Structure 1
Amino acid sequence: MSPAPTRRLRDLCELISIQVDPAATPNAAYVGLEHVPSGRFWTSRQGLAQDAQSSKFEFAEGDVLYGKLRPYLDKAVIAASTGVCTTELLVLRPRPGVPSTYLAAVVHAPDFTEHAMSGVTGAHHPRTSWHHISDFDLPGHSIDQQQRIGSVLTRVQRLIECVEIQSTTALDIKSHAMSALFRQGLVKAALRESEIGQIPSHWQVLPLGSLGRVGNGSTPKRTVGAYWNGGHYPWLTSAKVYDRDIIRGDEFVTDTALRECHLPKVQPGALLMAITGQGKTLGHCAVLRTEATVSQHVAYVQTDTTRANPAFLRGYLETQYDYLRQVGAGGGSTKGALTCAFLRSLPVPLPPLDEQNEIAEILDAIDAKIALHQQKRAVLQELFKALLHKLMTGEIDVNDLDLSALDREVEVAA
Structure 2
Amino acid sequence: MSLLETDLGAARHWSRVGDGYEVTKKPRNLDRATLPEIAFAAMDAIPQDGTYMPAFALKAPSAIASGTYFERGDLLIGKITPSFENGKQALVQNLDADFGYATTEVIPLHPRTEEHDPRFLFFYLLHPDVRSYVAERMEGSTGRQRVPENVLLDLSIPAFRQQEQRRVADCLEMIQKARAAEMNCERLAQDLKRAAMRALFTKGLRSEAQKDTKIGPVPDSWNVVRLDECAKVVSTRMSYSELEALENEHNEDAISVLGIKVADMNLDGNEIRLQSAFLEKTVARSVVTHRCAPPRTIIFPKRGAAIATNKKRLSTGWTAFDPNVIGVLAGDDLDQDFLFQWFQAFDLRTITEPGPTPQLNKKNLDPLVIPVPPTLEEQREIVAVFDAIDRKIDLHRRKRTVLDELFKALLHKLMTGEIRVADLDLSALEPVKETEVAA
Tell me, yes or no, whether TM beats 0.5. yes
Q: Decide which moves more: 119-128 or 209-218.
A: 209-218
2:16 to 5, 8, 28: 8
Answer yes or no: is the 8 Å Cα contact 1:238–1:274 preserved in 2: yes
Please state if 1:102 is matched with 2:120.
yes
Inter-partner Cα distance in structure 2 for 1:225 and 1:300: 17
**TM-score of the pair, normalised by structure 2:** 0.83
Q: Which amino acid aligns with 2:20?
A: L
Alignment of 1:81-96 (within 5 A): 81=95, 82-96=99-113
**Corresponding residue number in structure 2 for 1:340:** 362
**Corresponding residue number in structure 2 for 1:325:** 349
Q: Which amino acid aligns with 1:31?
A: A
Please state if 1:310 is matched with 2:336.
yes
What's the offset of the Cα at 1:57?
2.8
Please state if 1:267 is matched with 2:289.
no
What's the offset of the Cα at 1:120?
1.0
Q: Which amino acid aligns with 1:7?
A: S
Answer yes or no: is the 8 Å Cα contact 1:39–1:74 preserved in 2: yes
Please state if 1:166 is matched with 2:185.
yes
In structure 2, runs of 5+ residues without a counterpart are: 1-7, 250-255
Alignment of 1:10-409 (within 5 A): 10-18=18-26, 25=35, 27-43=37-53, 45-50=55-60, 53-70=64-81, 71-79=84-92, 80-81=94-95, 82-97=99-114, 98-122=116-140, 123-217=142-236, 220=239, 222=241, 227-230=245-248, 232-241=256-265, 242=267, 243-248=269-274, 250-252=278-280, 264-279=291-306, 283-304=310-331, 306-321=332-347, 324-328=348-352, 331-352=353-374, 353-407=376-430
Q: Decide which moves more: 8-17 or 32-41.
A: 32-41
Q: Once superposed, what is the RMSD of the aligned Cα atoms?
A: 3.1
User: For the structure 1 residues 53 and 271, does the alpha-carbon distance in structure 2 shift closer, same or farther, using more than 3 Å as the test?
Assistant: same
**What SS does the aligned partner of 1:279 have?**
helix
Aligned pair count reads 407
Q: Deviations over 1:327-353 (max 9, x none)?
A: 21xx24422121112222211111022
Answer yes or no: is the 8 Å Cα contact 1:275–1:282 preserved in 2: no
Answer yes or no: is the 8 Å Cα contact 1:22–1:84 preserved in 2: no
Inter-partner Cα distance in structure 2 for 1:77 and 1:59: 11
Q: Which amino acid aligns with 1:314?
A: F
Answer yes or no: is the 8 Å Cα contact 1:41–1:157 preserved in 2: yes
Answer yes or no: is the 8 Å Cα contact 2:238–2:320 preserved in 1: no
User: For the structure 1 residues 226 and 160, does the alpha-carbon distance in structure 2 shift closer, same or farther, using more than 3 Å as the test?
Assistant: closer
Q: Deviations over 1:64-110 (max 9, x none)?
A: 11112123122221102142112211111112222221231233233
User: For the structure 1 residues 278 and 182, does the alpha-carbon distance in structure 2 shift closer, same or farther, using more than 3 Å as the test?
Assistant: same
User: For the structure 1 residues 8 and 367, does the alpha-carbon distance in structure 2 shift closer, same or farther, using more than 3 Å as the test?
Assistant: same
Inter-partner Cα distance in structure 2 for 1:100 and 1:184: 53
User: For the structure 1 residues 188 and 195, does the alpha-carbon distance in structure 2 shift closer, same or farther, using more than 3 Å as the test?
Assistant: same
Answer yes or no: is the 8 Å Cα contact 2:231–2:330 preserved in 1: yes
Inter-partner Cα distance in structure 1 for 2:371 and 2:32: 55
User: For the structure 1 residues 174 and 39, does the alpha-carbon distance in structure 2 shift closer, same or farther, using more than 3 Å as the test?
Assistant: closer
What's the offset of the Cα at 1:23?
6.5
**What SS does the aligned partner of 1:73 have?**
coil
What's the offset of the Cα at 1:407?
2.3
